[in-house]
A and B are shown apart, each in its own frame.
Chain A
Amino acid sequence: MPLSAEEQDRYARHLALPEIGEQGQERLRGGSVLVVGAGGLGSPAALYLAAAGVGTLGIADADVVETSNLQRQLLHHTPDVGRRKVKSAVEKLRALNPHVNVRPHVERLSPANAERILADYHFVVDATDNFTAKFLIADTCHRVRKPYSHAGIRRFLGQTMTVHPGLTTCYRCVFDSPPEEPDGLRPQGPLGAVPGVIGAIQATEGIKYLLGIGTPLTNTLLVYEALEMTFRRVPVQRNPECPLCGECLR
């Protein structure tokens, strides 16, 4: 289906790029991305994915907006405190781009529902805020061979890597299992703009994947240290002893 006049206007900056053009925009429209977590990473990721015109955008989160979220979770505004994050997110995303089919998933990802929720999407953005969820996403995406963007934030540090399960380095190749005592009880940061940067990178990777352009951030952990303002690409190769994907190498 050709782009409407409004879409031609809306996506003019994409259409002007030889790497995208009208054909690319139609591909984006046919694509689907699930963002797990509507918080610090999920806000920029979902906003950029919606703005870009990804056809179907799933948002999964079971939490309610809290005042301390407003320091960095740009999908949510002051009047949203107390509301379900997914409801707040869906409203803003639909207002930003009514062409996007924004699908709410008001649930916490668990081993019981993860495969079902991920199934309908081409690409998954891990925008979660805890190790349990990150490892669950890595494990489930491996099982069903679903490409995903991993990310983790701590204080002034952001990390991200794209994974094509069964083909490229996975999360467990590097970080084999959740730490026993993650940082104690008091949250340490983060500086709000740090997940802002990383979430935008995750959206970029999702868009590149749907378009089939550029080089994916695979077999590489991008490490962003905001205090020194350094970005390092750390090569990380597939681990034959990886508890998750090592068998694919042997």
Chain B
Amino acid sequence: MTLTVNGEKTELQDGATVAQLLKKVNTGASRIAVLVNNTVVKAEKWEAFALKDGDHVELLTFAGGG
């Protein structure tokens, strides 16, 4: 399936979960917030939340500096 992740087209296996997407894009170091189609998906739901073709995903880094 094709998703948009942070504005870019990304291919993922059908039915992949948020957790699987995160493993693939390897955001690694810092905590992030995940939005799917403008709705926040809390961390405890990432393993179970299945993505669909055409979903818009935003991975937003927690940025605490200034």
Contacts and interface: CB of A to CB of B under 8 A. Distances in A.
Interface of A: 37, 39-42, 126-131, 134, 151-154, 157-159, 173-176, 178-179, 182-183, 187, 189-190, 195, 221, 223, 232, 234-237, 239, 241
Contacts of A39: 66
B6 interface: yes
Interface residues of B, number: 19
Nearest to A181: B31
Interface string B28-66: 011101010011101000000000000000101111111
Given A129-B66, A175-B62, 10 more contacts: A40-B66, A130-B64, A130-B65, A131-B62, A152-B64, A154-B30, A173-B40, A174-B33, A176-B33, A234-B35
B60 A154 contact: no
Contacts, number: 80
22 contacts: A40-B66, A153-B63, A153-B65, A154-B61, A154-B65, A157-B63, A174-B35, A175-B33, A175-B62, A179-B30, A182-B31, A182-B64, A183-B30, A187-B65, A195-B65, A221-B60, A232-B6, A232-B7, A234-B60, A235-B38, A237-B39, A239-B40
